[in-house]
Amino acid sequence: MEFKSKNPDVKVSGGAILAFLDALNNRELGLKYLEKHGILNIEAKKFYSQQAFLLTQKDLAETMGVAIALEATGANIPLELPPEKAKTVFEIFENWQKHYMDNNIGDTESYFRIIERGENYLLLETNNPYPCDFDRGLIKAFAHFVQPEAKVVKWGSKCRSHGDDACTYHISWKEELSMD
């Protein structure tokens, strides 16, 4: 389910929140909603309520338009928090779970897993409280770090925005590029 933390004690890193703000095309509005939900004086190395951050995203989605605001913001976050040492699309998404856990302390229920892979594609299942559009933007941007022509589409009928537990994304590309 979107916009609802799986555990009220989960904390999100200030670095992730700052990256979100930097990617948002209206930083002042983002700060206004963060303050509304009790997130003030954000520091990169501190942690804040994930639920408050999710409510901020919900407010922004309702104000700015869900798909446009959240997908665009998600797409810009990797510019602030780039994937380290990944050279292939597979490597990025094999390490996605660790990246999420490093930035969302206390969330032991969410997951990101490759459920199928081929030579030039993979299916990634995501189960987390963030909006689907935000995930799609993140997935596309992270894939573009190593595969600029990668395509990302929602796959199947399951969707968190409709109350399901998970969403699946099909990520495809023409051929694996070497990042050496």
- Provide the pLDDT confidence category of residue 118 given band limits of 50, 70 and 90: very high
Cα pseudo-dihedral 20, 24, 27, 30, rounded to 10? -70
* Residue 88: strand pairing partners: none
Q: What string of DSSP letters covers the chain?
A: -TT--SSTT-EEEHHHHHHHHHHSS-HHHHHHHHHHTT--S--TTSEEEHHHHHHHHHHHHHHH-HHHHHHHHHHHHHHHSPPSS--SHHHHHHSHHHHHHHHEET--S-EEEEEEEETTEEEEEEESSS-HHHHHHHHHHHHHHH-TT-EEEEESS--GGGT-S-EEEEEE-SSPPP--
Q: Which residue has the higher pLDDT, 179 or 24?
A: 24
d(CA 100, CA 124): 14
* Confidence at residue 70, expressed as pLDDT on a 0 to 100 scale: 62
What are 45-97's pLDDT values in tens digits?
999 999 999 999 889 888 877 555 566 666 666 554 556 677 888 988 988 88
What are 135-178's pLDDT values in tens digits?
888 898 888 888 999 999 999 999 998 989 999 999 999 865 54
What are 41-52's pLDDT values in tens digits?
999 999 999 999
d(CA 45, CA 67): 29
Is the distance from CB of 169 to CB of 152 less than 8 angstroms?
yes
Structural domains of the chain in order of their starting residue, each with its CATH number: 11-80 (no CATH), 89-172 (3.90.1520.10)
* Confidence at residue 67, expressed as pLDDT on a 0 to 100 scale: 58
* Confidence at residue 179, expressed as pLDDT on a 0 to 100 scale: 47
* Confidence at residue 56, expressed as pLDDT on a 0 to 100 scale: 92
* Confidence at residue 69, expressed as pLDDT on a 0 to 100 scale: 56
- Provide the pLDDT confidence category of residue 16 given band limits of 50, 70 and 90: confident
What are 127-136's pLDDT values in tens digits?
999 988 888 8
Give pTM, 2 decimals: 0.83
